[in-house]
């Protein structure tokens, strides 16, 4: 799981409180233990959490342990990164994206 202290765990239980009622920019990484591309993307997401500390909150949600939220946002493939701003889903990246693509998306919304 997350090795960075700046990556928070999102669950079906805390999603509304932590993300939908949150302010500012949040990034949610929807992943699963068995997903190879998810494991490759994990360290990139953790690095971005450290890089953007104070500017953006970063969460990881295990889709196997939390089925409600991924289904609510129509997640069909993982990894999927969804960006939220002030509780609204504003952008989405599907698949193992290069770090610079993720950074461009973050910069666009900060």
Catalytic residue among 10, 27, 28, 35: 35
| 46 included as an active-site residue | no
Query: Shortest CA distance to 77 belongs to which of 45, 37, 108, 39?
Result: 37
| 41 included as an active-site residue | no
User: What is the C-alpha separation between 1 and 60, in angstroms, rounded?
Assistant: 9
Contact 60, 2 (CB under 8 A): yes
Helix 99-109 × helix 36-51 angle, to 10°: 50
Catalytic residue among 7, 38, 45, 48: 38
Q: Which residue has the tokens 């591309």?
A: 37
Q: Supply the residues annotated as catalytic.
A: 35, 38
């Amino acid at each position: 799981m997350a090795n960075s202290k700046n990556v928070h765990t999102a669950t079906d239980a805390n999603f509304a409180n932590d993300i939908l009622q949150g302010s500012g920019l949040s990034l949610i990484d929807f992943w699963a233990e068995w997903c190879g591309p998810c494991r490759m993307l994990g360290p990139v997401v953790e690095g971005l959490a450290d890089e953007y500390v104070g500017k953006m909150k970063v969460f990881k949600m295990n889709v196997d342990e939390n089925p409600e939220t991924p289904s609510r946002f129509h997640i069909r493939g993982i990894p999927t990164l969804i960006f939220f701003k002030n509780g609204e889903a504003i952008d989405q990246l599907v698949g193992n994206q290069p770090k610079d693509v993720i950074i461009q998306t973050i910069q666009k919304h900060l």
